[in-house]
Amino acid sequence: MDIVSSALGCCTPYVVDPIAAKFRVLRNLRENIEELGKTTGKLDARRRDERRKLEVAMNQEGVVASAEADLWFSQVDDALSNANNLRIEYQQRRGSCPNCFCWSSYEPSKRVLKVKQDVDKLYGEDPRSGWTVAPPRPIGRNMNIVSIEGQTATKKLKGEIIDAVIDDRCVVVGLYGMGGIGKTTILRHVHAHFRKTNHFESVIFTTVSFAPNFDEIRKQIAECFGLKNWQDDNDLKDKLSRQTRKYMLMLDDIWEPVDLEEIYIPMPKKGSGCKILTASRSKAVVTRFVTRFETKDVLRLIRVNKLQPDEAWNLFVKKTGEDITSRPAIEPLAKEVLKKCDGLPLAIIVIGGTMSTRETEGEWKDAIRELGQTSSNLEGMEEVFSILMYSFEKLEQIEQSLFLYCCLFPEDYFIRKDELVDFVICEETLSELHRLEEMKCHPKFIAKASDGIIEAPDTSEWHKATKISLMKNYLMESLPQLLDQCPRRHTLVLSHIYHIEYIPQVHFLDHMPVLRILDLSNCLMLKTLPSSISHLVNLRVLRLRGCMELQNLPPEIGMLVQLILLDLFDCYNLRELPVQMNRLNNLRSLDIEYTTMLKRIPRTVLSVLDKLEELNTIDSGLKWSTNGVEELSQLTRLTNISTGIRKTSVLRGFKPVLAHSKCIRKLHLQNCTIDPSILSDLLDLNGILKFMSCEGLTSVPTHAVESLEVRDCPDLRTLLIVEKVERNAAFETLKYLKLDRLDQLETICCGVPKPGCFSNLEQILIKACPNLKVLFTKGVTRLLQKLKWLKVYRCPQLVKIVSDEEDDDLEINAFPSLKEMHLCELPELTAICDLDLNWPSLTGVHVYLCPKLRRPPFGVQHANISLNDEISGEVTDSYLRLLRLEERREEQEKQRKDEDDNDDEEEEEEELISS
């Protein structure tokens, strides 16, 4: 017995205890499962709380999740997934053998204990100070910069500025120098330098200018800090004042000392690491800017000097062309012209470009003589002015007029090309004002744009004015009296006066007999025009674009028989056009895009507008009846058509119009049955093409299209079949591609595309294509050299973005311009690409609900980009809500258009019956 007891005693710790432990594991399986459910519930709630806190911090403070936070969320995702799988497995076992107590349950029970330990450990880990971190590289705009290659002194100056910024002894670095000397160029180079280093967490570049737009400046600052979703100015002020980032604020083109309180940024203190870099024509302005907040010893002043002679010559030759400047007869003349530029980079660039087409001695001698005849007393522009004026006078007359009309807009205002063209095409004579010097000092131009005027200014010099701009102001009551003082005005710009609802019937339009251009665009509250508009008998341009509350046009508009251009773009509530418009027999351009409430154009209006050259009806409420199509086909002078076509019966009637597809700028086809003959008519379409809910569409035009959208077309299987392309390359002009809800789409490209294909494509959006498995097949990726923006949503079978068949050298050549990638609801996506790509331009990646894409495939240099696969997180929910909202709006719009089509068909049938 002693021997047996001794043996049992020896066996207990090696045999009995492990067996007993296994029995305890088996016995506690149900209890462990229940406990696991409780702890995972707590961990899931904790995960959501932490995710919400993190997103708030990211939005309000501009921080990003640290690697530690990413690791914690990833481990939590794995633990919760494992726990859920174990619970499902346990339920299945209980269902098949509810009273079973067997060894096959031991391993699951053991795993339950392990997962529970993991869950408990993760729940016990508290957020730390390292939960969020500042972005690893500065947030700042990617700005175009002019090369300073070969300019040794300029490069040296750049280094001096960088050293001054880094110097802890100064807080403000101020550049000063005359206009055109290159301050903005050197600032942009310094900005680019600090964007690539980790010295600052945010690098902010903004232009102040003569009339600062502080709203826009504050917006740019907030964006560079990564701030989003502020409620109002007070909220933004609070967020900016609480910023703790180490930043550099660059203020270009300061004319007067800036009050930093206006941009909600406190003056940085010495030792904080934050710096301000300014540029002004005046040394005194920079000095006063600093001394208003700090002592002068925190300022480092740096003068920007002119180019050295050899650098000036090299720049001049580069702009003019060595083939001209190297000629023995011209070289000495070229050096004489260069002396007139006096080492100013702007002057050298401008005059070099002007002289690049002058190849005779006489032309160069004329340039030397004319450059010495003009001077100016404009502050900071004395030496460069003659160069600018000489260059201006060498422009064609139409180019001069375009240039001069820029004076009617606020400084730094984004001027659309068509705004200028609208003005200039209606000039009776282009010789009224040729000299730039006259425009600076002559009262023919009066521009008070965005001056905050609420009362009529002094009109003592206005009686000679011909071109007047009061855009972006608030005055209206005193405007009639003001304009009475301007009998010679032929151009009047009153755009962006948001509060105006009605134009006075009297004393406003009565005394404008010579007015040729009236711009009331973006007067958002304007509801109607007075009947006195009939007095504008010489009016040639009437711009009402963006007047969203405008409901009708007066019948008296038919009296404007000289009218050439009528712009009604985005007049959303415009409900009808008066039949009297059939008197506008000189009208050449009519734009009714986005006039959603406009249902039809009265009969006999279009057919008599026989001089009409441009017609835009895209996304209007206009429905083309049979009579309307017939009228349209009679407009033989049309050279630019943008229109939408719905319903098969109308499409056939449009065939004579489509035959002139080179005239079509935009074409939207909806609910049409596509046949090969119609498609062949679109082969030379030069513009924007959209197919929506079109049956029979098995291929699309592959040439001369800049933008292509295909949505809800059930018969399209392949976008491009290479062997069927008759010309050398396909989609060579395409810039934007959207493929949406194409149930049968299997591939973008079948076959290896030829060089040139997709060579200009910049944006791709793929959404809800259930049969698409690989986005870019062999040979496609290397052609996407200009692709900047890629979004792929809700493609349930998509496995990869780039095919496995691509060659290894793709690592160097792939996606050199891609900046943003959005991937959402791609449950089978396992990889972007099997190769390690460089992603040289990538700045933003957003990945949601892609559970099989576990590893961030963006390389070491983009380690800050991580995957966000938070299935129930607040951010993903918001993201998906936006997608769903967009889809609902599209569906509602489609439904509305279908209902309108049905109503119009009934009306058309009634018209036919009655006739």
Q: Which two tokens stand for residue 45?
A: 């709630």
Other C-beta atoms within 10 Å of 888: how many? 10
The amino acid sitting at 31 is E
Mean pLDDT score, 133-144: 63
C-alpha span between 437 and 376 (Å, rounded): 8
Of all residues in the chain, what percent are helix, strand and coil, respectively (each to 5)? 40, 15, 45
pLDDT at residue 28 greater than cutoff 70: no
- Find the radius of gyration of the CA atoms of the chain: 35
> Would you place residue 224 in the very low, low, confident or very high pLDDT band (cuts 50, 70, 90)?
confident
C-alpha span between 857 and 846 (Å, rounded): 13
Helix/strand/coil (H/E/C) assignment for every residue in 549-604: CCCCCCHHHHHCCCCCEEECCCCCCCCCCCHHHHHCCCCCEEECCCCCCCCCCCCC
First-to-last alpha carbon distance for the chain, in angstroms, is 121
Q: List Cα–Cα distances, 681 to 647, 658, 701, in angstroms.
A: 18, 6, 9
Q: For 114-118, 328-332, 694-698, which range has the lowest pLDDT when averaged over its residues?
A: 114-118
Mean pLDDT score, 495-522: 78
pLDDT of residue 430: 36
pLDDT at residue 428 greater than cutoff 60: no
C-alpha span between 831 and 865 (Å, rounded): 15
The amino acid sitting at 640 is N
C-alpha span between 694 and 690 (Å, rounded): 10
C-alpha span between 601 and 574 (Å, rounded): 12
Q: Which two tokens stand for residue 757?
A: 């294909």
Q: List Cα–Cα distances, 401 to 397, 398, 439, 902, in angstroms.
A: 6, 5, 11, 49
> Would you place residue 105 in the very low, low, confident or very high pLDDT band (cuts 50, 70, 90)?
low
Mean pLDDT score, 422-432: 55
Torsion sign (Cα): 454, 460, 463, 464: negative
C-alpha span between 481 and 479 (Å, rounded): 5
For 640-666, give the DSSP string.
EEEEEEESHHHHHHTHHHHTTGGGEEE
The amino acid sitting at 442 is H
Q: Which two tokens stand for residue 578?
A: 């008066």
Distance of CA 309 to the CA centre of its chain: 41
pLDDT of residue 643: 85
CB 628 within 8 A of CB 604: no
The amino acid sitting at 364 is W
The CA-CA-CA angle for residues 157, 158, 160, to 5°, reads 60
DSSP assignment, residue 463? G
3-class secondary-structure state, position 785? coil
DSSP assignment, residue 471? T
Query: H helices within 381-460, ranges in order?
Result: 382-393, 397-405, 417-424, 436-441
> Would you place residue 11 in the very low, low, confident or very high pLDDT band (cuts 50, 70, 90)?
very low
pLDDT in tens, 291-343: 888 888 889 999 988 888 888 898 889 888 888 888 898 899 998 888 888 88
Between 211 and 783, where is the model more confident? 783
pLDDT of residue 386: 67
The amino acid sitting at 187 is L
pLDDT of residue 152: 81
Strand pairing partners for 705?
Answer: 687
Best CA proximity match to 513, nearest among 475, 483, 493, 543 = 483
Q: Which two tokens stand for residue 481?
A: 């009296």
Pairing of strands 687-692, 664-670: parallel
Between 475 and 198, where is the model more confident? 198
Other C-beta atoms within 10 Å of 296: how many? 10
Average pLDDT, the chain: 77
Cα atoms in the 13 Å half-sphere on the side-chain side of 100: 14
Other C-beta atoms within 10 Å of 267: how many? 17
C-alpha span between 344 and 807 (Å, rounded): 50
Between 214 and 709, where is the model more confident? 709
The amino acid sitting at 724 is K
pLDDT of residue 4: 45
pLDDT of residue 798: 94
Torsion sign (Cα): 518, 213, 253, 414: negative
Q: Which two tokens stand for residue 720?
A: 């491009």
Mean pLDDT score, 344-373: 83
C-alpha span between 621 and 897 (Å, rounded): 8
Relative orientation angle of helices 67-96 and 106-124, to the nearest 10 degrees: 150
pLDDT at residue 413 greater than cutoff 60: yes
Q: For 164-173, 220-229, 821-830, which range has the lowest pLDDT when averaged over its residues?
A: 220-229
Mean pLDDT score, 443-465: 57
Q: Which two tokens stand for residue 547?
A: 């007047």
> Would you place residue 432 in the very low, low, confident or very high pLDDT band (cuts 50, 70, 90)?
very low
Q: For 110-124, 706-720, 741-755, which range has the lowest pLDDT when averaged over its residues?
A: 110-124
Best CA proximity match to 421, nearest among 449, 398, 448, 394 = 398
Between 518 and 391, where is the model more confident? 518
* CA trace torsion 410, 411, 416, 419 (10° rounding): 40
C-alpha span between 106 and 579 (Å, rounded): 87
pLDDT of residue 9: 53
pLDDT at residue 476 greater than cutoff 50: yes
pLDDT in tens, 238-252: 888 877 788 899 999
Strand pairing partners for 691?
Answer: 669, 710
pLDDT in tens, 581-635: 999 989 999 999 989 888 878 888 888 888 888 899 888 888 777 677 777 778 8
C-alpha span between 288 and 493 (Å, rounded): 37
pLDDT of residue 645: 80
Pairing of strands 64-65, 687-692: unpaired
pLDDT at residue 871 greater than cutoff 50: no
pLDDT at residue 826 greater than cutoff 60: yes
Query: Which residue carries 């780039």 as its tokens?
Result: 802
pLDDT at residue 784 greater than cutoff 80: yes
pLDDT at residue 897 greater than cutoff 70: no
pLDDT in tens, 523-554: 888 888 888 888 888 899 999 999 989 999 99
Best CA proximity match to 348, nearest among 380, 369, 318, 324 = 318
pLDDT of residue 439: 36
C-alpha span between 319 and 325 (Å, rounded): 10
For 147-207, give the DSSP string.
--TT-HHHHHHHHHHHHHHH-TT-SEEEEE--TTSSHHHHHHHHHHHHHTSSS-SEEEEEE
C-alpha span between 554 and 580 (Å, rounded): 9
Beta strands in 693-840 (DSSP E): 705-711, 718-721, 736-740, 747-750, 763-767, 774-776, 789-793, 800-802, 820-824
| Total-model pTM | 0.63
pLDDT in tens, 639-653: 888 888 877 655 666
Q: For 12-16, 331-335, 364-368, which range has the lowest pLDDT when averaged over its residues?
A: 12-16
Q: Express as a percent the part of the chain with pLDDT over 70.
A: 72
pLDDT at residue 8 greater than cutoff 60: no
CB 707 within 8 A of CB 686: no
pLDDT of residue 448: 62
3-class secondary-structure state, position 139? strand
